[in-house]
Amino acid sequence: MYQKPSMKFSFLNRQILRRLYLVALVILATLIAIWCEQVQTHKSMTLTTPDQPEEVRREPIQPIPLKIALNQSKVALGEKLFREPRLSADNRVSCLSCHNLSKGGADDKAFSIGANGAVGNVNALTVYNAGFNSRLNWNGKFETLEALTEVAIQNPTDMGIDWQVLIQKLQQAPEYMQAFTQNYADGVTKANVKDAIATYLRSLYTPNSRFDQYLGGNQKAITDAEKEGYRLFKAYGCVSCHQGMNLGGNLYQKIGLMGDYFRDRALRGSLWEHRGNVTKADLGRYNVTQDEADKFVFRVPSLRNVALTYPYFHDGSVETLEEAIKVMTKYQLGRSLSQKDIELIALFLGTLTGEHPALNQK
């Protein structure tokens, strides 16, 4: 006579299937991350990575290269442009204004303030390690740093300046005429400005974090509590989206897979009470593709230096790392974590802060 499987047996089956699903996701995401990082590596970049133990090569996270070979003269010119207020329409803001290198390559505002006081509609992403991302911006609209730079210069909420006006400004500055002539045969052009800034952005990588040292075989680089945080980060499935060299930056994911993120957002604080429920920026990748399936889909952000880049998410609605972990595990994984587990994962994420002169000033 047929008997229905016990509830315990069905529950165990679901648990096994869930674990297998997470393992498959991690393996697939890691393979995609490796492929994307190889594709994204710019022809002007030569990466130098240390020899890695076999067990490290099997990890879903890989260390950042210790050195990247770039044209240092172009890097210097790009840095000067990055810090130059004349790149903005009102001569008051620079790229550095919204991407403060001493604040993790972002700023501490939910929405940055651009030229002429214009307020952005998404939280500023860090410029650190941006050269390793396969797609750029929250909606993944741009594939290269050059393409991103071209639009950011003209964007009314960023620099808000016409390219022709900018080129004329630079051509009227003897120091820029000299620097461009030294680096480019055709001097100051739109293409050369983009190339110089993009080359500088590729120099903003942060190697040798304590976690990278741990991956390299130094077991004492992180504490036992931080190791447990990493174990939980993998066990709960966070690593299925945050993997590869940048712990993100190479996949798209819908926000709110396991709950209505936008319905509940206003309940978490006063920031959104006056903004209504959903904004155009909340539509994410849909704004690029106009595909209904891409509504509320975003490029998964990198977690490198994440302890420094608050507030969090595309809407800048969460102030602390612990709260960000709580929100993400609820709406992306359908899990309610204990405070202890949240704190352990936060400790692990703190080990991802790498080395860079500006970061070391923090």
Q: What is the DSSP string of 24-90?
A: HHHHHHHHHHHHHHHHHS-TT-EEE-----HHHHTSSB-PPPSEEE--HHHHHHHHHHHT-GGGSTT
Top-confidence residue, 76 or 28: 76
Of 202, 233, 266, which closes a domain? 202
Pair (180, 280) in one structural domain:
no
Residues of the domain holding 123: 68-202
SS (H, E, C) 337-354: CCHHHHHHHHHHHHCCCC
Pair (115, 184) in one structural domain:
yes
Report pLDDT digits (tens) over 211-232.
999 999 999 999 999 999 999 9
Q: Sorting pLDDT into bands at 50, 70 and 90, what band is 82?
A: very high
Q: What residues contact residue 264 under an 8 Å CB cut-off, 6+ apart?
A: none
Pair (226, 290) in one structural domain:
yes
How far apart are alpha carbons 146 and 194 in whole angstroms? 5
Q: Sorting pLDDT into bands at 50, 70 and 90, what band is 58?
A: confident
The dihedral built from the CA positions of residue 89, 92, 98 and 99, taken in this order, carries a sign that is positive
Pair (216, 179) in one structural domain:
no
Pair (63, 82) in one structural domain:
no
* pLDDT computed for residue 12 by the predictor: 52
pTM of the predicted model, to two decimals? Answer: 0.85
| Residues pairing with 119 in the sheet | 113
Q: What are phi and psi of 90, to 5 degrees?
A: -105, 5
* pLDDT computed for residue 275 by the predictor: 52
* pLDDT computed for residue 257 by the predictor: 94
| Residues pairing with 47 in the sheet | 68
Retrieve residue 140's tokens: 């993944």
Domain harbouring 176, CATH code: 1.10.760.10
Report pLDDT digits (tens) over 118-140.
999 999 999 999 999 999 999 99
Instruction: Find the mean pLDDT for residues 107-125.
Output: 95
Instruction: Find the mean pLDDT for residues 131-150.
Output: 96
Pair (193, 118) in one structural domain:
yes
Domain count, the chain: 2
Instruction: Find the mean pLDDT for residues 59-79.
Output: 96
